[in-house]
Chains A and B, each alone.
Chain A
Amino acid sequence: MGNEEAVFFSRLLTELTLSFHIIYATIGVGIPLMIFIAQWVGIKKQDEHYILLARRWTRGFVITVAVGVVTGTAIGLQLSLLWPNFMQLAGNVIALPLFMETFAFFFEAIFLGIYLYTWDRFKDQRKHMLLLIPVAIGASFSAVFITMVNAFMNTPQGFDLENGVLVNVKPLVAMFNPAMPTKVAHVLSTAYMTSAFILASVGAFRLLKGSNHVYHKKALFLTMKIGLIFSIASAVIGDFSGKYLAEYQPEKLAAYEWHFETEEGAPLILFGVLKDNHEVKYALEIPYALSILAHGDPYAEVIGLDQFSEDVIPPLYIHYLFDLMVTIGMVVAMVSLVYVVGTWLRRRFVNANWFLWIVFTTGPLAMLAIEAGWWLTEVGRQPWVLRGMMRTADAATTSNHVDSMLLLFTGLYLVLGVGSVIVLTRMFRKNPVEQELADRHGEGR
């Protein structure tokens, strides 16, 4: 059968929806933890500023959750609408984590509703803070479960195909597949890191716009510390991801690194441009580094693309995405390190405008790295939707209307994207911190 146009547009629509959803999803996973930390610090130090921080972050969070929920509903349905053959198989084998994810959503949604409307209802602030724990757990677990599904697409296992019939289905084996540990850990830690840097960007922006309130400085210091911790964690876990790839998906790793010949003591290629005939120009070669990334041993052998037939090798442009992600990871980790150390040592430059501008870029950069990371791993899995089992081209719908649906959803995401930005900026501009602090003291607190 086959319908090339439908495959093409289904891909485009999936890419669009996921790329848009992941922005809000990442914020949705990370921010509850940040709110929790702020409220906890506030209660422990008896510092009104941190409590207000938690309150204001929550208010913004509600808006991003709303867009996350509706775009997530879209992708959830689109998976069946655009990839019916894939979902039929996935439903048989990997439905368990998908199903458990809905419970995580349920849990999060219920407690978020309660948390939002009970700020001043408890005498003991700590009780209110406890309500946030299920929200944070629900958000993180929805990421864990959905990432398990994505890991399964990279290392499908837990079933046998006999004459086209699925037999011996083992849901738990499918769920705990080899790609799962590194993927889940990397997704979580990058989500926490990105959320911290986004909040840091907001704080830096307020300071740049002339507010000199200590509230923003406290916010900035707290988020930069969290960002630093999770960016180090992300780099370490990223290194484990490389080792996982070398063992289970060597063609993917070789494509990331433009590693064409199998060799021992392989160098890591950074940056560069790919010319015809696998010629790499303007690159930075770090001797032995690829062997270290892949096996933790400078002399180990790393399998190259020469071992694979042309039709299972992913597009080679993903190397640029890999460089982008890793470079951003290094840069933002450095910025936060300098900020945190500079603040401890009471250096003046941390509050200088030029440095605040640099701090401001960390949030958008981290989000860019998230996008790069997903594109990298998804395109790196091509031509497979289920590696070694089902090709993307065979999974798609045969409907003739995918192109008009692409237009429809493009319009939707434009409206949602612009709408959420307008609402968020208005919300905080109309109600500056100084005003709110004054109001709250006016109430006799």
Chain B
Amino acid sequence: MTYEVIGISVLWLFLFGYVIVASIDFGAGFFNAYSLLINKHHIISGIIQRYLSPVWEVTNVFLVFFFVGVVGFFPRTAFYYGTSLLVPASIAIVLLAIRGSYYAFTTYGELRHKGWTYLYGFSGLFIPASLSIVLTISEGGFITEDEAGLALDYWALFTSPLTWSIVVLSLTSVLYISAAFLTWYANKAKDHQATELLRKYALVWAFPAIITATGIIVELRTHNPVHFNRLVDLWFLFGISFVLFLGSVYLIWKRKNYGIAFTLLTGQFLVAFFAYGISHYPYLLYPYLTIYDSFTSEEMAVALIVAFIAGLGLLLPSLFLLLKLFLFNKDYVQGNR
């Protein structure tokens, strides 16, 4: 494997990590707000709070890791994406900031007010929408380069069906991933009422998620035929992903093994995410940037990879401890502690 491929694989893996943990977080906030709206708040808010409290800061670091790593491994992305993304990225930062701080203010500072619950819940849906725009832009066709510099064509971006299908996919997946995870978590807590409600949400969102994902492949056919053809070549990976999807829906439907169901779901998204990434190869920003022409020097690449391995040595045991204490600890999950 070349250094370029190692670099992008590591970053892609962490982005995947962010997608999963952030989806759980965003979706949890949404279900919390929604249940307040329909007067079922008492059923699920306890479960959601107990899961989110110890981990919310960790979620954010996944994102920081990704964008710092991209600039390290592929410095030219700082120039291209930095120049063109000023407005969408700033809006995403503001939403993330409001969400993160109000989570802390309400949970630790006991600033309880219904307004914040709604703000918190619904802002969580706008964040994936605004972050997913980056994926749309990377398909090419929205950035123009001339003497005056780089410019993002907002009109083309917001009128493109591709943009909206990626936005819808991000929303449906957030809700599906989150509901499936929380079903498992509530079941571990032996909270049957919450499990039933969340299970219903998971089943409701499963099919919209898979349909929009298919829709995007269709959109790409006209938007970026090169990418589309590479996607089609990887049909077997999407096939595996679909089988995993069916497996997890089946288990949730039959109220069996929610843990395995969530594992299958993670596998489904992992395979699809990497299939998408592989088909995007070698472009970081079509057609301007590839992982090869934007790569950092070899010396830096080696240094970053060494730092990464050393960092993982610290990180994995710590993450394991966190999971052991809060996710896999019966007493904590059941609220006895």
Contacts and interface: CB of A to CB of B under 8 A. Distances in A.
Contacts of A116: 53-54
B232 interface: no
From A101, A171, A405, name the one whose CB has the most chain B CB atoms within 10 angstroms.
A171
Contact of A402 (B53, B86, B103, B307): B86
Contacts of B55: 113
B101 interface: yes
A99 B90 contact: no
B76 interface: yes
A177 interface: no
Given A98-B71, A399-B86, A412-B97, A169 B325 contact: no
Interface residues of A, number: 77
Contacts of A88: 75-76, 78-79
B64 interface: yes
Contacts of A121: 337
B38 to A, nearest CB: 28
Given A63-B104, A103-B311, A77 B93 contact: yes
B300 A169 contact: yes
A114 B54 CA distance: 7
Interface stretch (A89-97, A199-207, A230-238, A338-346): A89-97
B78 to A, nearest CB: 4
A80 B149 contact: no
A65 B103 CA distance: 12
Interface string A134-173: 1000000000000000000000000000000011011110
Nearest to B74: A91
Contacts of B72: 91, 95-96, 98-99
A81 B85 contact: yes
A401 interface: yes
B81 interface: yes
A244 to B, nearest CB: 25
Contact of B314 (A77, A84, A85, A103): A103
Contacts of B315: 103, 106-107, 110
Interface string B304-323: 10011001001100110110
B24 to A, nearest CB: 15
Contacts of A70: 60, 96-97, 100-101
Contact of B82 (A65, A80, A93, A102): A80
A423 B109 CA distance: 6
A166 B322 CA distance: 42
B69 A401 contact: no
Contact of A106 (B53, B65, B108): B65
Contact of B61 (A109, A404, A423): A109
B303 interface: yes
Given A84-B79, A84-B82, A111-B318, A424 B109 contact: yes
B64 A427 contact: no
B71 A112 contact: no
A110 B311 CA distance: 14
Interface residues of B, number: 69
A387 to B, nearest CB: 20
Contact of B75 (A67, A95, A109): A95
B97 A416 contact: yes
B102 to A, nearest CB: 8
A419 B300 contact: no
B283 to A, nearest CB: 18
Interface string A326-344: 0000000000000000000
A138 B89 CA distance: 27
A398 B58 contact: no
A423 B54 contact: no
A409 B78 contact: no
Given A73-B63, A73-B96, A113-B57, A401 B86 contact: yes
30 contacts: A1-B148, A59-B108, A63-B104, A67-B101, A69-B60, A70-B100, A74-B93, A76-B68, A80-B71, A81-B90, A84-B79, A88-B79, A91-B78, A95-B304, A96-B72, A96-B300, A99-B307, A101-B68, A109-B57, A111-B318, A113-B53, A114-B321, A167-B297, A171-B300, A171-B303, A398-B150, A399-B83, A405-B86, A405-B87, A405-B90
Interface of A: 1, 59, 62-63, 65-67, 69-74, 76-78, 80-85, 87-93, 95-96, 98-103, 105-107, 109-114, 116-118, 121, 134, 166-167, 169-172, 397-399, 401-402, 404-405, 408-409, 412, 415-416, 419-420, 422-424, 426-427, 430
Given A91-B72, A102-B64, 20 more contacts: A62-B104, A66-B103, A73-B100, A82-B82, A88-B75, A102-B69, A103-B311, A109-B57, A113-B54, A117-B53, A171-B299, A172-B303, A397-B83, A397-B86, A401-B86, A409-B90, A419-B101, A419-B111, A423-B109, A424-B109
Interface of B: 53-55, 57-58, 60-61, 63-65, 67-69, 71-76, 78-83, 85-87, 89-91, 93-94, 96-98, 100-105, 108-111, 147-150, 296-297, 299-300, 303-304, 307-308, 311, 314-315, 318-319, 321-322, 325-326, 332, 337
